[in-house]
Amino acid sequence: MQRGLVMAGVMVLLGCTAPAEPPSWRVMPLQRYAPHDGLAVVNQPDGYGLHIFLETDTSDPAICRPRWLPDPARLFNGNGTTPFSSGLATRNEFFAAVARNDVTKALQRELEALCKQRAPDARWLWAEPPRSEAEVLPVQLPALEQGELLTNPVDELERVEALLRSQPGL
């Protein structure tokens, strides 16, 4: 009987020991617009964290690779049933998160699935995320040509009125 109580006491003490890592580090897919385009990383005990936006680079039609956006959104209610994001988190939090193995594996999994969805015929190519400010490369987007730009609405209205004035009988 006494031995059973001692064993029960030991079991209770073992159950009360702190885990090796705080339970606040939780990694899960969190969709923005389409499946696999976001990853939530809860890095604070109160459910706050990062919402990393996932993008692909398909500038070469034969290859699909990650396009890194190191400015994550702030995650709220990450330990709850309906996590959401708003505002910005810091780049330092992003760098700390992507340095973790569990986050990197989840990023690889989600980005590969996103690539298969967006460019099914392209070859998947993993590229490591930036881990410091010095490794951040600005996203190069193609320049807009004059024909692709919207006209000034005031100028457009003046052209329409001039066209109407030039038409007799209208």
Q: What is the mean pLDDT of residues 153-160?
A: 86
Phi, psi of 57 (to 5 degrees): -110, 110
In the chain, the percentage of residues whose pLDDT exceeds 90 is 61
Q: What is the pLDDT of residues 100-116, one digit of tens each?
A: 999 999 999 999 999 99
pTM, rounded to two decimals: 0.70
In angstroms, the CA 98 to CA 128 distance is 9
Q: What is the pLDDT of residues 66-124, one digit of tens each?
A: 999 999 999 999 988 999 999 999 999 999 999 999 999 999 999 999 999 999 999 99
What secondary structure letter does DSSP report for 85?
E
- DSSP assignment of 24-77, as one string? T-EEEE--SSSTTSEEEEE-STTS-EEEEE-EEE-SSTTEEEEE----PEEEES
Please tell me which residue, 22 or 134, carries the higher pLDDT value: 134
- The answer on pLDDT for 49 being more than 70 is yes
Mean pLDDT in the chain?
85
